[in-house]
């Protein structure tokens, strides 16, 4: 595992935080070590991995963004799809990178030489990859355009990003129940598919392709529903309850949801998740239009498609 000195990959362009998200809560959630992959994330990641069959380009090096949070089985599926490619694991916690290594399938040819590790803030050898794979991550950041710009910077020319996230129709049954009970929203607002497409273009990506589907999960009761939601994420809205709540509140929560959540004909609780998929390429640099132009040797190589590859 290469632990060489990392280099900053932050965008220098400032971005205003998303108004409906609390930056302090975002930081706490991001700093929480992910021990297991949520079932929904694995399902979405598996569906996204199937879409790789539509893409003719074969990455020589690809980047897996927070693979434990995004789904270890999905991460393994991508490894199997590109058995000769080098993998860059970007995770806030080294334990997550090790979990991704241990979860790989033997048939993927997983050897230590194929792996690199970096943190989200300092990517080091993560620079210059052919694909960024980021499953179910964007809806948990309050600086989404900064995140997308970071991915753009990590990619080689003609590289591409594959990502998924929750859309605004997610948890609509839960949001309706909270509204009827007079409570603050149970989750922060999620971004619309078309806004993600606009951000991809603003970040410099070309020809973004956006898609959406709704997945409805059903639960036998309120308790398993809440347990699942705790694995999926946290309420990052500034309107959430700021203080720690006790058993009386928890009892009121269960009673309120039992009374206001819908039920299917067999008595289960349905919850909708809107899942957004995004795919876009990083185009080659364009010649600047000016009376006199100076172009670096590396930029010229990228424009001509002759960038030297350093991954073996």
Length of the chain: 312
Query: Look-up: residue for tokens 């073996």?
Result: 312
The whole-number pLDDT of residue 106 equals: 46
The partner residues of 161 in beta bridges, in order of sequence, read 132, 280
Domain count of the chain? Answer: 1
Residue 263 lies in a domain: no
Are 173 and 190 contacting, i.e. CB atoms less than 8 angstroms apart?
no
- Taking 70 as the pLDDT cut, the residues of the chain under it are 1-14, 103-127, 241-244, 285-312
- Please report whether residue 76 resides in a domain: yes
Residue 311 sits at φ, ψ, to 5 deg, of -90, 130
Percent of the chain at pLDDT above 70?
77
* pLDDT value, residue 311: 46
Phi and psi at residue 189, to the nearest 5° = -75, 145
Is 28 a member of any domain? no
How much is the pLDDT for 255?
95
Residue 114 belongs to domain spanning = 33-168+189-213+275-286+294-304
The confidence score (pLDDT) of residue 303 equals: 52
Q: Please report, for residues 19, 135, 262, the alpha-carbon distance to residue 187 in angstroms, rounded to integers and kept in the order given.
A: 13, 19, 18
Percent of the chain, pLDDT > 90? 55
CATH of the domain at 109: 3.40.50.150
Instruction: Find out whether 27 and 237 touch, Cβ atoms under 8 Å.
Output: no
81 lies in some domain: yes
pLDDT score at 118:
63
Q: Is residue 115 in a domain?
A: yes
Residue 26 belongs to some domain of the structure: no
| Confidence (pLDDT) at 100 | 75
Q: In this structure, are residues 171 and 273 in contact, taking their beta carbons and an 8 Å threshold?
A: yes
**Structure confidence at residue 268 (pLDDT):** 97
Residue 244 included in any domain: no
Classify residue 179: in a domain, yes or no.
Answer: no
């Amino acid at each position: 595992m290469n632990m060489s000195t990392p280099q900053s990959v932050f965008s220098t362009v400032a971005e205003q935080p998303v108004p409906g998200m609390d930056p302090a809560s975002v930081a706490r959630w991001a700093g929480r070590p992910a021990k297991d992959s949520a079932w929904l994330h694995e399902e979405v990641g598996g569906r996204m991995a199937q879409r790789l069959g539509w893409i003719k380009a074969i990455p020589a090096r690809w980047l897996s963004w927070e693979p434990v949070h995004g789904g270890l089985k999905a991460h393994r599926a991508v490894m199997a799809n590109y058995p000769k490619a080098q993998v860059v694991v970007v995770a806030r916690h080294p334990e997550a990178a090790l979990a991704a290594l241990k979860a790989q399938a033997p048939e993927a040819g997983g050897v230590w030489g194929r792996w690199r590790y970096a943190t989200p803030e300092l990517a080091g050898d993560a620079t210059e990859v052919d694909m960024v794979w980021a499953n179910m991550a964007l809806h948990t950041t309050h600086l989404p355009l900064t995140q997308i710009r970071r991915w753009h910077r990590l990619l080689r020319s003609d590289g591409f990003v594959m990502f998924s996230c929750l859309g605004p129709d997610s948890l609509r049954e839960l949001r309706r129940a909270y509204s009827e009970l007079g409570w603050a929203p149970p989750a922060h607002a999620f971004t619309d598919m078309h806004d993600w497409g606009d951000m991809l273009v603003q970040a410099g990506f070309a020809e973004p392709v956006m898609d959406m589907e709704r997945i409805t999960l059903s639960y036998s009761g309120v308790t398993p529903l809440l347990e699942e939601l705790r694995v999926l994420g946290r309420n990052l809205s500034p309107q959430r309850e700021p203080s720690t709540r006790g058993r009386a509140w928890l009892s009121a929560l269960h009673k309120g949801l039992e009374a206001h959540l819908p039920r299917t004909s067999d008595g289960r609780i349905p919850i909708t998740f809107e899942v957004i998929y995004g795919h876009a390429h990083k185009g080659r640099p364009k010649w600047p239009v000016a009376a006199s132009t100076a172009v670096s040797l590396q930029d010229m190589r990228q424009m001509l498609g002759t960038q030297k590859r350093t991954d073996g």
